[in-house]
Amino acid sequence: MTASPADVANHRPLLTTALLRQFDTPGPRYTSYPTADRFTQTFGPEQATRALAALRGEADAAPLSLYVHVPFCESVCYYCACNKIITKHHDRATSYLDALEQELSLVVAQLGTGRPVSQLHFGGGSPTFLSDPELTRVMTALGSAFRLTPDSEVSIEVDPRTVTPSRLAHLRALGFNRLSFGVQDFDAEVQKAVHRVQSFDSVLILMQSARDLGYRSINADIIYGLPKQTPESFARTVQQLGELRPDRIALYAYAHLPERFKPQRRIAQEDLPHAGDRIAMLAGAIEGFLARDYLYIGMDHFALPGDSLAVARQEGRLQRNFQGYSTQPDCDLVALGVSAIGRIGGCYYQNAKTLPEYEGSLAAGMLPVVRGYTLDDDDLLRRDVIMALMCQGRVEFERIEKAHAVRFGAHFASELERLRVMARSGLVELDDQGIRVTAAGWFLVRAVAMVFDRHLCEAQERRGFSRVI
The binder of ligand SF4 chosen from 73, 139, 171, 428 (CB under 6 A):
73
In whole angstroms, the minimum distance from the beta carbon of 432 to ligand SF4 comes to 47
- Considering the complex, state which of residue 15 and residue 206 has its C-beta at the smaller distance from ligand SF4: 206
Which residue stretches of 68-125 are H helix? 92-111
- Pattern of binders to ligand SF4 over 182-221, x per CB under 6 A? x---------------------------------------
Task: Tell me whether residue 77 or residue 117 sits nearer to ligand SF4 (CB atom).
Answer: 77
Q: Give the separation between CA 145 and CA 87, rounded to whole angstroms.
A: 30
8 A C-beta contact, residue 329 and residue 119: no
Q: Does 84 bind ligand SF4 (CB under 6 A)?
A: yes
CB of 318 to ligand SF4, least distance (A): 25
Cα–Cα distance, 415 to 23 (Å, whole number): 15
Minimum Å distance from CB 185 to ligand SF4? 12
Burial of 435 (0-12, 13-18, 19+ CB in 10 A): buried
- Residue 75 CB, nearest approach to ligand SF4 (Å): 7
Rounded least distance, CB 71 to ligand SF4, Å: 8
Position 347, amino acid: C
Residues 6+ apart with CB under 8 A from 240: 186, 200
Closest to ligand SF4 by CB, 31 or 308 = 31
- Cα→Cα distances 90→131, 142, 164, 383, Å: 8, 21, 17, 40
Answer for the pair 169, 212: CB distance below 8 angstroms, yes or no.
Answer: no
**Residue with Cβ nearer ligand SF4 (63 or 337):** 337
Residues 132-171 that bind ligand SF4 (CB under 6 A): 159
d(CA 457, CA 296): 30
Q: Residue 180 or 438: which CB sits closer to ligand SF4? A: 180
Least separation in angstroms between residue 123's CB and ligand SF4 is 9
Please tell me the distance from the alpha carbon of residue 385 to that of residue 383, in angstroms, as a whole number.
5
Among 36, 82, 235, 311, binds ligand SF4 (CB under 6 A): 82
Q: How far is the CB of 182 from ligand SF4 (least distance, A)?
A: 6
Minimum distance from CB of 72 to ligand SF4 (Å)?
8
Q: What are the helix (H) ranges across 339-452?
A: 355-363, 377-392, 397-404, 408-411, 413-424, 439-442, 445-450
Asked if 320 and 326 count as a contact pair (C-beta separation under 8 A), the reply is yes
- Contact call for residue 179 and ligand SF4 (CB under 6 A): no
Q: Please choose, from the candidates 317, 460, 414, 443, the residue with its C-alpha nearest in 3D space to the C-alpha of residue 9.
A: 443
Between 63 and 125, whose beta carbon lies closer to ligand SF4? 125
- Contact track, ligand SF4, 100-139, x by CB under 6 A: ------------------------xxx-------------
285, 386, 357: which is closest to 33 by C-alpha? 386
* Of residues 359-388, those binding ligand SF4 (CB under 6 A): none
The answer to whether 285 and 251 are in contact (CB under 8 A) is yes
Among 20, 77, 338, 400, binds ligand SF4 (CB under 6 A): 77
**How far, in Å, CA of 294 to CA of 250, rounded?**
12
> What does the longest C-alpha to C-alpha distance in the chain come to?
61
According to the binding rule CB under 6 A, does residue 80 interact with ligand SF4? yes
| Complex with ligand SF4: residue 74 or 189, whichever CB lies closer | 74
Binding site for ligand SF4 (CB under 6 A): 73, 76-77, 80, 82, 84, 124-126, 159, 182
